[in-house]
Amino acid sequence: MNALSKLVAVEAKLFLREPVSLFFVFALPLGLMLVFGLPQRGARQEATPGQHGELTFLPSIALSLTIGMLALFTLPMALGIYRERKVLRRLATTPVSPALLLIAQVVVNLAMGVAGAVVTAIGVRLLLDQPAPANVPGFVLAFLLGVACLFSIGLLIAALAPSARSAQSIGPTLFFPLLFLAGAWLPRDQMPTVLARVGEYSPLGATVDTISAAWAGQNPAVSQLLVLAGTAVLGCLLATRLFRWE
């Protein structure tokens, strides 16, 4: 068993012991979608990417919520706790590299994200009577790039946050504006033009749009996919370079 597999096994056990993390992944996104989706169940609208078409927007925002909460809440908080409790200082004296620790965190959170996405998608399908994604390859690509983009931001927070408390502050400070730009509270076609354009290429907004497009059977916008991929690469490089053991 190599160092990475051992780290992944340990991180997975620790994750499953945290009821708050499990709540973020499995319960809260689905609960929010039920709160917003059930009153609209009888009001079917034609769905277009980035707008509040029930057939695509609700499942897309549900999955994006799962990814976003893992990336900006759970992941930074875990490494913040390690840094606060001097766990990272002790790891610094071993052959474990920062990249290896970050990879282990990504693997565990990605696995939980996929599990949470499956649970959310099944729940939305059964409880809100939503169809399955029509463009499966496009959906998988959009989902994975959305995960990579948002996780890279979470890793950057985790690499720099000196404590769990600071990680808990930075994550929500980024998450809720990104959620607004994604159109969670106000459809982007009702936003000022500049703000709507920013939201279209924001990490969460691009994730929602590309997943929504694939769910409706369309091809995700290449420009948005490129933005997600570019942000993912840049965020991971910065996280690895700026990582602090203490």
DSSP 18: -
**What pLDDT is stored for residue 177 in this prediction?**
92
What pLDDT is recorded for position 36? 66
Percent of the chain residues topping a pLDDT of 90:
30
E-strand ranges in the chain read none
pLDDT of residue 88: 75
Question: What's residue 57's pLDDT?
Answer: 78
Residue 44 lies in a domain: no
Q: Is residue 46 one of the residues assigned to a domain?
A: no
Does residue 66 lie in a domain region?
A: yes
pLDDT tier, 54 (very low <50, low <70, confident <90, very high otherwise): low
Contact indicator for 228, 145 with CB cutoff of 8 Å: yes
Q: Which pLDDT value is given to residue 5?
A: 86
Most confident of 7-16, 162-171, 232-241: 232-241
pLDDT, averaged across the chain: 82
Number of Cβ within a 10 Å radius of residue 98: 18
Residue 15 contacts residue 21 (beta carbons within 8 Å) = yes
pLDDT at 47: 42
> Within a domain: residue 43?
no
Residue 12: Cβ-neighbour burial (10 angstroms; 0-12, 13-18, 19+): middle
- In which domain, by residue range, is 55 found? 3-38+51-242
pLDDT of 163 over the 70 cut = yes
Residue 200 lies in a domain: yes
Q: Are 132 and 193 in contact (CB under 8 A)?
A: no
- Which pLDDT score is estimated for 2? 79
Using the predicted structure, report yes or no on whether residue 67 has a pLDDT greater than 60: yes
Q: Nearest to residue 28, comparing CAs of 57, 76, 64?
A: 64
Q: Tell whether the model's pLDDT for residue 230 goes beyond 80.
A: yes
Mean pLDDT score, 61-73: 86
Q: How many domains does the chain have?
A: 1
Reported confidence tier of residue 39, pLDDT bands at 50, 70, 90: low
Nearest CA among 242, 181, 208 for reference residue 59: 208
pLDDT digits (tens, 9 = 90+) for 81-102: 888 888 777 777 777 776 777 7
62 within domain boundaries: yes
Give every CB contact of residue 240 below 8 A, 6+ residues apart in sequence. Answer: 98, 99, 102, 159
What is the pLDDT at residue 196? 92
In a domain, 109, yes or no: yes
DSSP of 69-107: HIIIIIHHHHHHHHHHTTHHHHHTTSS--HHHHHHHHHH
- Does position 46 have pLDDT exceeding 50, yes or no? no
Tell me, what amino acid is at 120?
T
pLDDT of residue 222: 96
Q: Would 123 be classed as within a structural domain?
A: yes
